[in-house]
Amino acid sequence: MNVYDLARLRKTTKIKLVFMSISIAIPIIIISILTPLSIKHFSDWVNIPVKVLDYVLVAIGEAYVIYKVVYYGRILGSENYAKQVLIKKNDERLIFIKQKYSQFTLKMLIFLLLIGIAVSGFLNTIVFVTLCGVLIALGLTWLITAIYYRNKY
């Protein structure tokens, strides 16, 4: 069981805060680099909904990252809020529920990714290779974390 204490919560929160702060800049940098490269596609009326969807997805992602930065800032700034979060993180019932739905969600994502790979293999080679890369990265991440936690515990 992963039992948190206040010092560990603050330490991990600081690390997460740094990564989330960096995460704010990454999509903005990517958009600022790729937008001039794809500006010619804005003249084509068919691609406008795709570009709008790109910006909407980035805006949703940025809103989530900003929410997490504020959340982590509140943990570091308020002792009472940090204690409330600590109580929630140590609740065994919530830990069990989170493990169960995370396992199911991961299995569904892998299944949908495999369907996407099968379909894209017939339609577009670039999408096929990209989805295969995502699947390989997912597998490597799973393998590395499995080895790490087996050696740690």
Of 52, 73, 90, at which residue does a domain stop? 90
In terms of domains, do 62 and 98 share one? no
In terms of domains, do 8 and 80 share one? yes
In terms of domains, do 48 and 60 share one? yes
pLDDT at position 44 is: 60
pLDDT at position 100 is: 79
In terms of domains, do 128 and 148 share one? yes
Packing angle of the helix pair 6-37, 48-77 (nearest 10 deg):
160
Contacts 24+ apart (CB under 8 A), 16-20: 16/68, 16/72, 17/69, 17/72, 17/73, 17/76, 20/65, 20/68, 20/69, 20/72
What pLDDT digit, counting tens, does each position of 86-121 carry?
A: 888 888 888 888 777 778 888 888 888 888 888 887
What pLDDT digit, counting tens, does each position of 6-28 carry?
A: 888 889 899 999 988 888 888 88
In terms of domains, do 77 and 2 share one? yes
CA distance 76 to 89: 15
The number of folded domains in the chain is 2
Q: Does pLDDT of 137 surpass 80?
A: yes
Structure token digits, residue 90: 């140590």
Share of the chain above pLDDT 90, in %: 10
* pTM given for the model: 0.61
CA distance 109 to 106: 5
